[in-house]
Amino acid sequence: MKVLVIANSARSIVCSAKKAGYTVFALDRFGDVDTCNCSDKSLLFKTSQENELQGLAGTFGEVDAVVLGPGYEKLKFKNTLNNPPAVMEEVSDKSKLPRKLKSMDIPHPETASIEKAHELGFPLMIKPKSGSGGMRNMVVRNEEELSLFKERSDAREFIAQEYIEGIPCSASIISSGEDAVAVALNEQLIGVPWLTGLPFAYCGNITPFHSKFNDEMIQYAKQIALEFGLVGSNGVDFILTEKGIVVIEVNPRFQGSLDTVESAFGINIFDAHVKSFSGELPEVREPVCFAAKSIVYANKKTVISKTVSDTLKGCMEKGRAADVPQPGTVVSQDEPVSTMLATARTRSAALEKVVESSRSLRSLFEKEKIKNPGRKFKVI
């Protein structure tokens, strides 16, 4: 079976597909080393124009299926393995989802338009109506800050929610439209200072996640999947508070937790995704270990040296790194540089490993600066 993956960063999906034995082509914005290694053929794109992307996709020839990543779900192909566009749009619209969750009696943050945000009280979480990753999320704490935000030209593209404090977590589910299986519960790393300067950016996962509310997480995730008729790999994001679990949003697509879910549970998510479109769902498994993933963001504009790329390649070959940039890649401030991976028998040990490797990556950039003081090389 020949598969084409189109995404901003296709690596995790492409490598999962390759491990499952598919012939896989990649069309993405980064062309990381491991994306190229896993794919049978890959191309970079710098455009979001549908006709140009369609043209690039055509260069791979006939494929059996196309998988569209976040931001590209509206591309039209005859053989996509995604949720239907109407379902995708309904689930992804954060201004409409809360009303649906309320009708389903599922706990969720109170939500309002920016114009009516003051009615919710403060502090408020401000986030885009659609999109993922948390990179544009922010908190406003009083009327003055809200008034300043309303002056932005793009203010109407955002919504306001009551600010919920707790532990970010998620459920990874495989759905057939008529049934669903929660394959994993995950802790989320959000806005971690040693990884990013963005307070709400997605920075990775630790899988599995354990709490006394696991049953509720699974129940709500399956309820949502069946209500919307979701198909394939989907995710539900939660906040675990002192009082219980709260649904934050639904991701009707492959999630960043793919790496840790596959490592912790020994499951191939891409293969399960494909089979779900024929009504076949995976069995529930017990975790074989804890798996952690950390995404290191650039503090400043960064040029990837051969030394850095080669070092990360070595880590990649040992299963300790992913999303390895090619030498010469320019990484802008607040963009991801690379991903560090680890497995262990305990959560703390897995987390300790990615903390160490993430800090080692930053130290490597510091050494590069010292070794090449005359280069126009920015430190992250």
**Which domains are present in the chain?**
2-81 (3.40.50.20), 110-162 (3.30.1490.20), 167-371 (3.30.470.20)
What was the pLDDT predicted at 74? 83
Q: Is 123 left (phi over 0), alpha (psi -120 to 50) or beta?
A: beta
What was the pLDDT predicted at 377? 31
* Tokens 């503090």 belong to residue: 299
Cα–Cα distance, 294 to 189 (Å, whole number): 8
Cα–Cα distance, 111 to 325 (Å, whole number): 39
Q: Which residues contact 276 (CB under 8 A, 6 or more apart)?
A: 174, 175, 176, 231, 232, 233
Cα–Cα distance, 141 to 225 (Å, whole number): 34
| 302's tokens | 């960064």
Phi, psi angles (nearest 5°) of residue 175: -125, 150
Vertex 144, ends 138 and 149: CA angle to 5°?
45
In which residue ranges of the chain is pLDDT below 50? 370, 373-380
H/E stretch holding 144 reads helix 143-150
Nearest by Cα to 219 from 244, 254, 241: 244
User: Model confidence over 295-332: pLDDT tens digits?
Assistant: 999 988 989 999 999 999 999 999 999 999 999 999 99
Looking at residue 283, the DSSP 8-state letter turns out to be P
Cα–Cα distance, 346 to 351 (Å, whole number): 9
C-beta of residue 185 within 8 angstroms of C-beta of residue 167? no
What was the pLDDT predicted at 375? 42
C-beta of residue 267 within 8 angstroms of C-beta of residue 282? yes
What was the pLDDT predicted at 379? 29
Report pTM: 0.93
Cα–Cα distance, 291 to 311 (Å, whole number): 22
Cα–Cα distance, 348 to 352 (Å, whole number): 6
Query: DSSP strand E in the chain: where?
Result: 2-6, 23-28, 41-44, 65-68, 111-113, 124-128, 138-140, 158-162, 167-176, 180-190, 202-207, 231-240, 245-251, 290-297, 302-303, 321-322, 330-331, 336-344
User: Model confidence over 26-51: pLDDT tens digits?
Assistant: 999 999 999 999 999 999 998 778 88
What was the pLDDT predicted at 132? 63
What was the pLDDT predicted at 371? 55
Nearest by Cα to 289 from 262, 325, 320, 257: 262
What was the pLDDT predicted at 302? 87
Nearest by Cα to 141 from 155, 125, 122: 122
